[in-house]
Structure 1
Amino acid sequence: MDSVSYKAGFLARMHSPQQMQLLFNHLPDVYFFAKNREGRFVMGNDHFVRQCGATTESDIIGKTDFDFFPLGRAESYVQDDNYVMETGESIIDRVELAPDPGNSINWFITCKVPVYSIGGEIIGLAGTARDITRAGLALRPYTEMRAVLEFVRDNYSRPIEIKELAALVHLSISQFERRFRKVFQISPLKHIMNVRIRAASLRLTASNDTIATIALDCGFYDHSHFTRNFRKIMGVSPKEYRKQYVS
Protein backbone atom coordinates (compact mmCIF):
# COMPACT_ATOMS: atom_id res chain seq x y z
CA MET A 1 0.00 0.00 0.00
CA ASP A 2 1.44 3.40 -0.98
CA SER A 3 1.60 6.48 1.25
CA VAL A 4 -1.49 8.08 -0.32
CA SER A 5 -3.57 4.98 0.38
CA TYR A 6 -2.34 4.78 3.96
CA LYS A 7 -3.36 8.39 4.56
CA ALA A 8 -6.73 8.06 2.80
CA GLY A 9 -7.53 4.90 4.73
CA PHE A 10 -6.75 6.52 8.06
CA LEU A 11 -8.79 9.66 7.35
CA ALA A 12 -11.75 7.61 6.12
CA ARG A 13 -11.85 5.76 9.46
CA MET A 14 -11.82 8.95 11.56
CA HIS A 15 -15.01 9.54 13.49
CA SER A 16 -14.83 13.30 13.04
CA PRO A 17 -12.34 15.87 11.70
CA GLN A 18 -12.94 17.79 14.94
CA GLN A 19 -10.54 15.38 16.63
CA MET A 20 -7.77 17.15 14.72
CA GLN A 21 -9.30 20.54 15.46
CA LEU A 22 -8.90 19.95 19.20
CA LEU A 23 -5.14 20.08 18.72
CA PHE A 24 -5.35 23.74 17.72
CA ASN A 25 -6.89 24.61 21.08
CA HIS A 26 -3.62 23.67 22.75
CA LEU A 27 -1.25 25.54 20.44
CA PRO A 28 -0.47 28.94 21.98
CA ASP A 29 -1.17 32.00 19.83
CA VAL A 30 -2.51 29.97 16.91
CA TYR A 31 -5.89 31.03 15.53
CA PHE A 32 -7.55 28.34 13.39
CA PHE A 33 -10.73 28.64 11.33
CA ALA A 34 -12.51 27.09 8.37
CA LYS A 35 -15.17 28.52 6.07
CA ASN A 36 -17.51 27.09 3.48
CA ARG A 37 -17.79 28.30 -0.12
CA GLU A 38 -20.14 31.10 0.96
CA GLY A 39 -17.58 32.44 3.40
CA ARG A 40 -19.47 31.28 6.49
CA PHE A 41 -17.53 29.87 9.42
CA VAL A 42 -17.83 26.12 9.94
CA MET A 43 -14.97 25.68 12.43
CA GLY A 44 -12.90 27.77 14.79
CA ASN A 45 -10.60 26.95 17.67
CA ASP A 46 -10.93 28.59 21.08
CA HIS A 47 -8.37 31.31 20.29
CA PHE A 48 -10.17 32.31 17.10
CA VAL A 49 -13.56 32.31 18.84
CA ARG A 50 -12.20 34.81 21.37
CA GLN A 51 -10.68 36.86 18.55
CA CYS A 52 -14.22 37.23 17.20
CA GLY A 53 -15.45 38.40 20.58
CA ALA A 54 -17.53 35.24 20.97
CA THR A 55 -17.71 32.69 23.77
CA THR A 56 -18.17 29.31 22.10
CA GLU A 57 -17.64 27.91 18.63
CA SER A 58 -21.39 27.68 18.09
CA ASP A 59 -21.51 31.49 18.34
CA ILE A 60 -19.55 31.84 15.07
CA ILE A 61 -20.86 28.88 13.05
CA GLY A 62 -22.81 30.05 10.00
CA LYS A 63 -21.71 33.67 10.40
CA THR A 64 -19.28 35.70 8.31
CA ASP A 65 -16.42 38.12 8.87
CA PHE A 66 -18.89 40.99 8.56
CA ASP A 67 -20.59 39.82 11.76
CA PHE A 68 -17.43 40.27 13.83
CA PHE A 69 -14.97 42.67 12.21
CA PRO A 70 -15.00 46.29 10.98
CA LEU A 71 -16.04 46.70 7.37
CA GLY A 72 -12.57 47.40 5.97
CA ARG A 73 -10.99 44.37 7.61
CA ALA A 74 -13.90 42.09 6.73
CA GLU A 75 -13.71 43.12 3.09
CA SER A 76 -9.97 42.45 3.05
CA TYR A 77 -10.45 38.97 4.53
CA VAL A 78 -13.20 38.13 2.05
CA GLN A 79 -11.09 39.32 -0.87
CA ASP A 80 -8.33 36.90 0.15
CA ASP A 81 -10.86 34.11 0.69
CA ASN A 82 -12.30 34.56 -2.79
CA TYR A 83 -8.83 34.48 -4.30
CA VAL A 84 -8.03 31.16 -2.60
CA MET A 85 -11.36 29.54 -3.45
CA GLU A 86 -11.51 30.79 -7.04
CA THR A 87 -7.90 30.06 -8.01
CA GLY A 88 -7.13 27.08 -5.76
CA GLU A 89 -3.88 28.79 -4.77
CA SER A 90 -2.88 29.03 -1.12
CA ILE A 91 -1.81 32.15 0.73
CA ILE A 92 1.20 31.20 2.83
CA ASP A 93 2.95 33.27 5.51
CA ARG A 94 1.36 36.59 4.65
CA VAL A 95 2.31 39.23 7.21
CA GLU A 96 -0.53 41.60 8.04
CA LEU A 97 -1.65 43.97 10.75
CA ALA A 98 -4.75 43.36 12.86
CA PRO A 99 -6.03 43.93 16.40
CA ASP A 100 -5.53 41.10 18.88
CA PRO A 101 -8.26 40.02 21.35
CA GLY A 102 -7.18 42.86 23.66
CA ASN A 103 -7.71 45.32 20.78
CA SER A 104 -3.99 46.09 20.57
CA ILE A 105 -2.63 46.39 17.04
CA ASN A 106 -0.19 43.57 16.27
CA TRP A 107 1.35 41.78 13.31
CA PHE A 108 0.08 38.35 12.36
CA ILE A 109 1.34 35.70 9.96
CA THR A 110 -1.60 34.17 8.15
CA CYS A 111 -2.06 31.12 5.94
CA LYS A 112 -5.13 30.14 3.93
CA VAL A 113 -5.52 26.94 1.91
CA PRO A 114 -8.42 25.63 -0.20
CA VAL A 115 -10.45 22.68 1.11
CA TYR A 116 -11.53 20.09 -1.45
CA SER A 117 -14.42 17.63 -1.53
CA ILE A 118 -13.90 13.95 -2.29
CA GLY A 119 -14.80 14.78 -5.89
CA GLY A 120 -12.08 17.41 -6.14
CA GLU A 121 -14.34 20.46 -5.89
CA ILE A 122 -13.28 23.41 -3.73
CA ILE A 123 -15.86 23.59 -0.95
CA GLY A 124 -14.21 26.17 1.28
CA LEU A 125 -10.94 27.03 2.94
CA ALA A 126 -9.03 26.60 6.18
CA GLY A 127 -6.70 29.12 7.71
CA THR A 128 -4.40 29.92 10.59
CA ALA A 129 -2.96 33.10 12.02
CA ARG A 130 -0.11 33.58 14.48
CA ASP A 131 0.72 36.66 16.51
CA ILE A 132 4.32 37.53 15.60
CA THR A 133 4.99 39.39 18.84
CA ARG A 134 3.99 36.37 20.96
CA ALA A 135 4.98 33.34 18.94
CA GLY A 136 8.65 33.35 19.98
CA LEU A 137 11.47 31.45 18.29
CA ALA A 138 9.17 29.57 15.93
CA LEU A 139 8.92 32.81 13.98
CA ARG A 140 12.50 33.96 14.45
CA PRO A 141 12.91 35.70 11.07
CA TYR A 142 10.08 38.00 12.13
CA THR A 143 10.85 38.30 15.83
CA GLU A 144 14.27 39.72 15.00
CA MET A 145 12.32 42.84 14.11
CA ARG A 146 10.07 42.65 17.16
CA ALA A 147 11.58 45.74 18.78
CA VAL A 148 10.87 47.71 15.62
CA LEU A 149 7.27 46.50 15.38
CA GLU A 150 6.60 47.32 19.01
CA PHE A 151 8.24 50.74 18.74
CA VAL A 152 6.11 51.71 15.75
CA ARG A 153 3.00 50.31 17.40
CA ASP A 154 3.62 52.39 20.53
CA ASN A 155 4.84 55.59 18.84
CA TYR A 156 2.91 55.91 15.57
CA SER A 157 1.24 59.08 16.87
CA ARG A 158 4.49 61.03 16.57
CA PRO A 159 7.06 61.49 13.78
CA ILE A 160 9.28 58.41 13.41
CA GLU A 161 12.63 58.48 11.65
CA ILE A 162 14.10 55.42 9.96
CA LYS A 163 17.39 55.93 11.78
CA GLU A 164 15.53 55.42 15.08
CA LEU A 165 14.25 52.05 13.90
CA ALA A 166 17.62 50.98 12.51
CA ALA A 167 19.27 51.75 15.84
CA LEU A 168 16.84 49.44 17.64
CA VAL A 169 18.23 46.42 15.76
CA HIS A 170 21.81 47.72 15.54
CA LEU A 171 21.89 48.10 11.76
CA SER A 172 22.78 50.92 9.42
CA ILE A 173 19.85 52.60 7.71
CA SER A 174 20.52 50.86 4.39
CA GLN A 175 21.00 47.45 6.06
CA PHE A 176 17.83 47.91 8.07
CA GLU A 177 15.72 48.91 5.08
CA ARG A 178 16.93 45.88 3.10
CA ARG A 179 16.35 43.49 6.01
CA PHE A 180 12.93 44.88 6.80
CA ARG A 181 11.77 44.69 3.20
CA LYS A 182 13.09 41.13 2.88
CA VAL A 183 11.17 39.97 5.96
CA PHE A 184 7.89 41.86 5.51
CA GLN A 185 7.82 42.53 1.76
CA ILE A 186 7.16 46.24 2.38
CA SER A 187 9.32 49.24 3.21
CA PRO A 188 9.60 50.59 6.77
CA LEU A 189 7.85 53.80 5.71
CA LYS A 190 4.92 51.88 4.27
CA HIS A 191 4.74 49.83 7.45
CA ILE A 192 4.50 52.99 9.54
CA MET A 193 1.76 54.29 7.28
CA ASN A 194 -0.15 51.00 7.52
CA VAL A 195 0.02 51.10 11.31
CA ARG A 196 -1.35 54.63 11.36
CA ILE A 197 -4.14 53.82 8.93
CA ARG A 198 -5.17 50.71 10.86
CA ALA A 199 -5.18 52.63 14.14
CA ALA A 200 -7.24 55.37 12.54
CA SER A 201 -9.74 52.88 11.09
CA LEU A 202 -10.32 51.48 14.58
CA ARG A 203 -10.88 54.96 15.99
CA LEU A 204 -13.31 55.80 13.19
CA THR A 205 -15.52 52.83 14.04
CA ALA A 206 -15.10 52.77 17.81
CA SER A 207 -15.32 56.45 18.75
CA ASN A 208 -17.17 59.67 17.98
CA ASP A 209 -13.96 61.71 17.70
CA THR A 210 -13.75 64.10 14.78
CA ILE A 211 -11.77 63.02 11.75
CA ALA A 212 -9.36 65.91 12.30
CA THR A 213 -8.69 64.77 15.87
CA ILE A 214 -8.13 61.18 14.77
CA ALA A 215 -5.77 62.35 12.03
CA LEU A 216 -3.55 64.26 14.46
CA ASP A 217 -3.67 61.52 17.12
CA CYS A 218 -2.57 58.92 14.57
CA GLY A 219 0.49 60.82 13.37
CA PHE A 220 -0.79 62.67 10.30
CA TYR A 221 0.14 66.27 9.56
CA ASP A 222 -3.41 67.42 8.93
CA HIS A 223 -6.85 66.36 7.74
CA SER A 224 -5.97 66.37 4.03
CA HIS A 225 -2.78 64.35 4.54
CA PHE A 226 -4.79 61.77 6.46
CA THR A 227 -7.65 61.62 3.97
CA ARG A 228 -5.32 61.24 0.99
CA ASN A 229 -3.40 58.32 2.50
CA PHE A 230 -6.48 56.69 4.00
CA ARG A 231 -8.23 56.63 0.63
CA LYS A 232 -5.09 55.26 -1.05
CA ILE A 233 -4.93 52.27 1.31
CA MET A 234 -8.58 51.65 2.26
CA GLY A 235 -10.21 52.64 -1.03
CA VAL A 236 -12.61 55.14 0.55
CA SER A 237 -12.32 58.39 2.50
CA PRO A 238 -12.37 58.34 6.33
CA LYS A 239 -15.85 59.86 6.26
CA GLU A 240 -17.13 57.23 3.83
CA TYR A 241 -15.48 54.44 5.83
CA ARG A 242 -17.13 55.57 9.06
CA LYS A 243 -20.51 55.97 7.35
CA GLN A 244 -20.34 52.49 5.81
CA TYR A 245 -19.44 50.86 9.09
CA VAL A 246 -22.01 52.70 11.19
CA SER A 247 -24.76 52.02 8.67
Structure 2
Amino acid sequence: MSRGSGTKEGTLRGCEAFCASLHGAQLQPLFDYLPGVYFVAKDRAGRVMMANNVAVQLCGFEREEDMIGKTDYDIFSADRADAYVKDDNHVFETGESVIDHVELAPDPHNSINWFVTTKIPLYSDEGEIVGLACIARNMTSAHEKLRPYMEMNEVLDYVRENYADPIKVEDLAKIMHLSSSQFERSFKKVFKISPTKHILNVRVRAACRLLSTTNDTIASIALEAGFYDHSHFIRNFRKVMGLSPREYREGGREIPW
Protein backbone atom coordinates (compact mmCIF):
# COMPACT_ATOMS: atom_id res chain seq x y z
CA MET A 1 0.00 0.00 0.00
CA SER A 2 1.45 3.29 -1.07
CA ARG A 3 2.13 5.84 1.62
CA GLY A 4 2.57 8.66 -0.86
CA SER A 5 0.14 10.74 -2.82
CA GLY A 6 1.89 11.07 -6.19
CA THR A 7 1.65 14.20 -8.27
CA LYS A 8 -1.51 16.26 -7.99
CA GLU A 9 -2.07 16.33 -11.74
CA GLY A 10 -1.65 12.59 -12.11
CA THR A 11 -3.89 11.95 -9.15
CA LEU A 12 -6.68 14.11 -10.53
CA ARG A 13 -6.47 12.33 -13.90
CA GLY A 14 -6.64 9.04 -12.04
CA CYS A 15 -9.64 10.27 -10.08
CA GLU A 16 -11.50 11.19 -13.27
CA ALA A 17 -10.82 7.76 -14.77
CA PHE A 18 -11.78 6.02 -11.52
CA CYS A 19 -15.09 7.87 -11.24
CA ALA A 20 -15.87 7.31 -14.89
CA SER A 21 -15.28 3.57 -14.60
CA LEU A 22 -17.69 3.41 -11.65
CA HIS A 23 -20.17 5.98 -12.95
CA GLY A 24 -19.55 7.53 -9.56
CA ALA A 25 -19.65 11.16 -10.65
CA GLN A 26 -23.41 10.92 -11.13
CA LEU A 27 -23.92 9.56 -7.63
CA GLN A 28 -21.48 11.73 -5.73
CA PRO A 29 -23.89 14.64 -5.00
CA LEU A 30 -26.13 12.17 -3.16
CA PHE A 31 -23.39 11.36 -0.67
CA ASP A 32 -23.25 14.95 0.53
CA TYR A 33 -26.83 14.64 1.77
CA LEU A 34 -26.25 11.61 3.98
CA PRO A 35 -26.59 13.12 7.48
CA GLY A 36 -23.72 12.14 9.75
CA VAL A 37 -22.43 9.51 7.31
CA TYR A 38 -18.78 9.51 6.27
CA PHE A 39 -18.29 8.32 2.67
CA VAL A 40 -14.99 7.70 0.90
CA ALA A 41 -13.99 5.75 -2.20
CA LYS A 42 -10.37 4.64 -2.68
CA ASP A 43 -8.43 3.05 -5.51
CA ARG A 44 -6.30 -0.09 -5.14
CA ALA A 45 -3.36 2.01 -4.00
CA GLY A 46 -5.41 3.29 -1.07
CA ARG A 47 -5.68 6.81 -2.46
CA VAL A 48 -8.87 8.77 -1.87
CA MET A 49 -10.76 9.20 -5.14
CA MET A 50 -14.08 10.50 -3.80
CA ALA A 51 -15.23 11.88 -0.45
CA ASN A 52 -18.39 13.53 0.81
CA ASN A 53 -18.46 16.73 2.87
CA VAL A 54 -18.73 14.86 6.18
CA ALA A 55 -15.56 12.88 5.42
CA VAL A 56 -13.69 15.95 4.22
CA GLN A 57 -14.47 17.86 7.41
CA LEU A 58 -13.89 14.88 9.69
CA CYS A 59 -10.43 14.40 8.20
CA GLY A 60 -9.56 18.06 8.72
CA PHE A 61 -9.76 19.33 5.14
CA GLU A 62 -11.71 22.25 3.72
CA ARG A 63 -12.44 20.88 0.26
CA GLU A 64 -12.71 17.47 -1.35
CA GLU A 65 -9.93 18.42 -3.75
CA ASP A 66 -7.53 18.73 -0.81
CA MET A 67 -8.26 15.14 0.24
CA ILE A 68 -8.08 13.55 -3.23
CA GLY A 69 -4.99 11.42 -3.67
CA LYS A 70 -4.24 11.18 0.04
CA THR A 71 -3.78 7.81 1.69
CA ASP A 72 -4.69 6.91 5.25
CA TYR A 73 -1.05 7.50 6.21
CA ASP A 74 -1.31 11.09 4.98
CA ILE A 75 -4.42 11.70 7.04
CA PHE A 76 -4.24 9.66 10.26
CA SER A 77 -1.64 8.60 12.78
CA ALA A 78 0.36 5.52 11.79
CA ASP A 79 -1.41 3.19 14.22
CA ARG A 80 -4.86 4.25 13.00
CA ALA A 81 -3.76 4.06 9.36
CA ASP A 82 -2.38 0.55 9.89
CA ALA A 83 -5.77 -0.62 11.18
CA TYR A 84 -7.69 0.98 8.32
CA VAL A 85 -5.30 -0.36 5.67
CA LYS A 86 -5.54 -3.86 7.14
CA ASP A 87 -9.28 -3.82 6.54
CA ASP A 88 -8.79 -2.35 3.05
CA ASN A 89 -6.36 -5.10 2.10
CA HIS A 90 -8.81 -7.75 3.26
CA VAL A 91 -11.40 -6.31 0.88
CA PHE A 92 -8.90 -6.05 -2.01
CA GLU A 93 -7.46 -9.53 -1.54
CA THR A 94 -10.65 -11.51 -0.84
CA GLY A 95 -13.42 -9.47 -2.40
CA GLU A 96 -15.27 -9.80 0.89
CA SER A 97 -17.00 -6.81 2.40
CA VAL A 98 -16.32 -5.60 5.93
CA ILE A 99 -19.76 -5.05 7.44
CA ASP A 100 -20.59 -2.95 10.52
CA HIS A 101 -17.11 -3.03 12.01
CA VAL A 102 -17.09 -1.06 15.27
CA GLU A 103 -13.99 1.02 15.84
CA LEU A 104 -12.72 4.16 17.51
CA ALA A 105 -11.75 7.12 15.38
CA PRO A 106 -10.66 10.70 16.07
CA ASP A 107 -12.49 13.77 14.87
CA PRO A 108 -11.02 17.21 14.01
CA HIS A 109 -11.44 18.32 17.65
CA ASN A 110 -9.26 15.42 18.82
CA SER A 111 -12.21 13.70 20.45
CA ILE A 112 -12.45 9.94 20.15
CA ASN A 113 -15.80 8.61 18.98
CA TRP A 114 -17.27 5.23 18.14
CA PHE A 115 -17.82 4.61 14.45
CA VAL A 116 -19.59 1.74 12.70
CA THR A 117 -17.79 1.16 9.41
CA THR A 118 -18.70 -0.81 6.28
CA LYS A 119 -16.37 -1.33 3.31
CA ILE A 120 -17.31 -2.97 0.00
CA PRO A 121 -15.22 -3.76 -3.08
CA LEU A 122 -15.76 -1.76 -6.26
CA TYR A 123 -15.48 -3.56 -9.58
CA SER A 124 -14.63 -2.41 -13.09
CA ASP A 125 -16.75 -3.43 -16.08
CA GLU A 126 -14.27 -6.26 -16.56
CA GLY A 127 -14.99 -7.63 -13.09
CA GLU A 128 -11.70 -6.58 -11.51
CA ILE A 129 -11.54 -4.97 -8.07
CA VAL A 130 -10.44 -1.40 -8.73
CA GLY A 131 -11.07 0.07 -5.29
CA LEU A 132 -13.45 0.15 -2.39
CA ALA A 133 -16.20 2.29 -0.96
CA CYS A 134 -16.40 3.00 2.74
CA ILE A 135 -19.19 4.45 4.85
CA ALA A 136 -18.87 5.15 8.55
CA ARG A 137 -21.49 6.38 11.00
CA ASN A 138 -20.53 8.36 14.06
CA MET A 139 -22.62 6.61 16.69
CA THR A 140 -21.95 9.31 19.28
CA SER A 141 -23.45 12.11 17.19
CA ALA A 142 -26.13 9.82 15.76
CA HIS A 143 -27.36 9.06 19.26
CA GLU A 144 -27.66 12.77 20.00
CA LYS A 145 -29.63 13.35 16.80
CA LEU A 146 -31.95 10.44 17.53
CA ARG A 147 -32.46 11.28 21.19
CA PRO A 148 -35.54 13.53 20.67
CA TYR A 149 -37.22 10.78 18.62
CA MET A 150 -36.33 8.11 21.16
CA GLU A 151 -37.81 10.21 23.95
CA MET A 152 -41.12 10.18 22.08
CA ASN A 153 -41.12 6.39 21.62
CA GLU A 154 -43.57 5.76 24.45
CA VAL A 155 -46.03 8.21 22.93
CA LEU A 156 -45.70 6.67 19.46
CA ASP A 157 -46.22 3.19 20.93
CA TYR A 158 -49.31 4.37 22.79
CA VAL A 159 -50.86 5.82 19.63
CA ARG A 160 -50.00 2.72 17.61
CA GLU A 161 -51.58 0.40 20.18
CA ASN A 162 -54.65 2.54 21.01
CA TYR A 163 -55.59 4.36 17.79
CA ALA A 164 -59.01 2.65 17.73
CA ASP A 165 -59.90 4.28 21.06
CA PRO A 166 -60.39 7.97 21.83
CA ILE A 167 -56.99 9.60 22.37
CA LYS A 168 -56.61 13.00 23.96
CA VAL A 169 -53.52 15.15 23.61
CA GLU A 170 -53.63 15.61 27.39
CA ASP A 171 -53.18 11.85 27.82
CA LEU A 172 -50.11 11.85 25.60
CA ALA A 173 -48.73 14.87 27.45
CA LYS A 174 -49.03 12.99 30.74
CA ILE A 175 -46.91 10.16 29.34
CA MET A 176 -44.13 12.70 28.74
CA HIS A 177 -44.76 14.48 32.06
CA LEU A 178 -45.44 17.74 30.20
CA SER A 179 -48.30 20.16 30.00
CA SER A 180 -50.45 19.86 26.88
CA SER A 181 -48.98 23.02 25.35
CA GLN A 182 -45.40 21.95 26.11
CA PHE A 183 -46.03 18.52 24.65
CA GLU A 184 -47.62 19.87 21.49
CA ARG A 185 -44.66 22.20 20.91
CA SER A 186 -42.14 19.42 21.53
CA PHE A 187 -43.95 16.92 19.31
CA LYS A 188 -44.27 19.38 16.45
CA LYS A 189 -40.61 20.38 16.75
CA VAL A 190 -39.51 16.75 16.42
CA PHE A 191 -41.96 15.42 13.83
CA LYS A 192 -43.01 18.63 12.02
CA ILE A 193 -46.69 17.76 12.49
CA SER A 194 -49.10 18.13 15.39
CA PRO A 195 -49.98 15.18 17.65
CA THR A 196 -53.56 15.34 16.35
CA LYS A 197 -52.35 15.05 12.74
CA HIS A 198 -50.15 12.09 13.68
CA ILE A 199 -53.09 10.29 15.29
CA LEU A 200 -55.14 10.94 12.16
CA ASN A 201 -52.36 9.55 9.94
CA VAL A 202 -52.11 6.38 12.02
CA ARG A 203 -55.88 5.86 11.84
CA VAL A 204 -55.99 6.43 8.09
CA ARG A 205 -53.14 3.98 7.59
CA ALA A 206 -55.02 1.39 9.65
CA ALA A 207 -58.12 2.02 7.53
CA CYS A 208 -56.07 1.56 4.34
CA ARG A 209 -54.88 -1.81 5.59
CA LEU A 210 -58.45 -2.91 6.35
CA LEU A 211 -59.74 -1.64 3.01
CA SER A 212 -56.99 -3.56 1.21
CA THR A 213 -57.15 -6.83 3.14
CA THR A 214 -60.77 -7.31 4.27
CA ASN A 215 -64.31 -7.21 2.90
CA ASP A 216 -65.59 -5.30 5.93
CA THR A 217 -68.04 -2.50 5.28
CA ILE A 218 -66.68 1.00 5.16
CA ALA A 219 -68.83 1.91 8.18
CA SER A 220 -67.33 -0.88 10.29
CA ILE A 221 -63.82 -0.02 9.14
CA ALA A 222 -64.41 3.57 10.20
CA LEU A 223 -65.20 2.46 13.76
CA GLU A 224 -62.38 -0.09 13.85
CA ALA A 225 -59.86 2.54 12.77
CA GLY A 226 -60.96 4.97 15.49
CA PHE A 227 -63.30 7.34 13.61
CA TYR A 228 -66.47 8.14 15.52
CA ASP A 229 -68.82 8.11 12.52
CA HIS A 230 -69.00 7.31 8.82
CA SER A 231 -68.99 10.89 7.52
CA HIS A 232 -66.12 11.87 9.81
CA PHE A 233 -64.12 8.96 8.42
CA ILE A 234 -64.81 9.76 4.76
CA ARG A 235 -64.03 13.46 5.21
CA ASN A 236 -60.69 12.83 6.94
CA PHE A 237 -59.71 9.91 4.71
CA ARG A 238 -60.17 12.11 1.65
CA LYS A 239 -58.21 14.91 3.32
CA VAL A 240 -55.19 12.63 3.86
CA MET A 241 -55.37 10.32 0.82
CA GLY A 242 -56.94 12.59 -1.79
CA LEU A 243 -59.73 10.12 -2.60
CA SER A 244 -62.61 8.41 -0.83
CA PRO A 245 -62.33 5.06 0.99
CA ARG A 246 -64.47 3.44 -1.71
CA GLU A 247 -62.28 4.82 -4.48
CA TYR A 248 -59.21 3.62 -2.60
CA ARG A 249 -60.63 0.10 -2.28
CA GLU A 250 -61.83 -0.09 -5.88
CA GLY A 251 -58.47 1.11 -7.12
CA GLY A 252 -56.68 -1.76 -5.41
CA ARG A 253 -54.24 0.65 -3.80
CA GLU A 254 -51.35 -0.68 -1.71
CA ILE A 255 -51.07 0.18 1.98
CA PRO A 256 -49.24 3.56 2.19
CA TRP A 257 -46.08 4.41 4.13
Pick the structure with greater CA Rg: 2
Q: Output the TM-score relative to the length of structure 2.
A: 0.47
Scaled by the length of structure 1, what TM-score is found?
0.48
